[in-house]
């Protein structure tokens, strides 16, 4: 019996829509990361990008548990003296909610050469409308799926 190895030509990509309304940021990120990596498929392989496209809508309506909104900080540095900045998650969710979701998903993907191609298949939108209606199927992912 031989071990099956998936070929790039055999990879079929689907589109998944995740509604982030009243859902926890971490749960959305883990679900999206699993779909982007292709871990839900029987042909999953670590050295190939077998994942699907993921669309996350209503990024502005997601929630976080506990005091993370006020206590979690994101840091950056400009490279100059005194250029250290920190911004709370609460402020990020008000100004750039798509960035918060993308950052959370990126942190749950493997840190290798495939991460960039996986992140390119992630689409995050603030409202409920997105320009990928022709690619997606009727069904959307809900908390029970």
What CATH number does the domain located at 8-65+97-124 have?
3.90.1180.10
What gap in Å lies between CA 44 and CA 84, rounded to an integer? 41
CA nearest neighbour of 117 among 8, 6, 20, 31:
8
With contact defined as beta carbons under 8 Å apart, do 11 and 133 qualify? no
**Tokens standing for 130?**
């997105």
Per-residue pLDDT, 96: 95
Domain range summary for the chain, segments of one domain joined by +: 8-65+97-124
CA nearest neighbour of 48 among 94, 92, 12:
12
Per-residue pLDDT, 143: 59
Per-residue pLDDT, 134: 86
With contact defined as beta carbons under 8 Å apart, do 32 and 56 qualify? yes
Give Rg (Cα) of the chain.
17
Per-residue pLDDT, 138: 52
Note down pLDDT in tens along the chain; length 145 residues: 888 889 999 999 999 999 999 999 999 999 999 999 999 999 999 999 999 999 999 999 999 999 999 999 999 999 999 999 999 999 999 999 999 999 999 999 999 999 999 999 999 999 888 988 888 765 455 555 5
**Residues comprising the chain, all counted:** 145
**Tokens standing for 75?**
């840091």
pTM for the structure as a whole: 0.88
Helix (H, G, I), strand (E, B) or coil at 141: strand
């Amino acid at each position: 019996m031989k071990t099956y190895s998936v070929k790039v030509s055999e990879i079929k990509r689907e589109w998944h829509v995740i509604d982030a309304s009243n859902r926890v940021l971490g749960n959305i990120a883990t679900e999206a990361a699993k779909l982007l990596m292709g871990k839900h498929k029987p042909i999953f392989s670590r050295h190939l990008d077998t994942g699907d496209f993921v669309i996350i809508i209503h990024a502005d309506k997601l929630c976080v548990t506990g005091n993370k909104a006020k206590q979690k900080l994101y840091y950056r540095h400009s490279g100059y003296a005194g250029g250290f900045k920190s911004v709370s998650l609460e402020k990020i969710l008000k100004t750039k909610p798509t960035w918060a979701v993308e950052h959370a998903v990126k942190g749950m993907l493997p840190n290798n050469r495939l991460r960039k191609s996986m992140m390119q298949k992630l689409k995050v939108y603030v409202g409920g409308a997105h320009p990928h209606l022709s690619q997606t199927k009727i069904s959307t992912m809900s908390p029970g799926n």
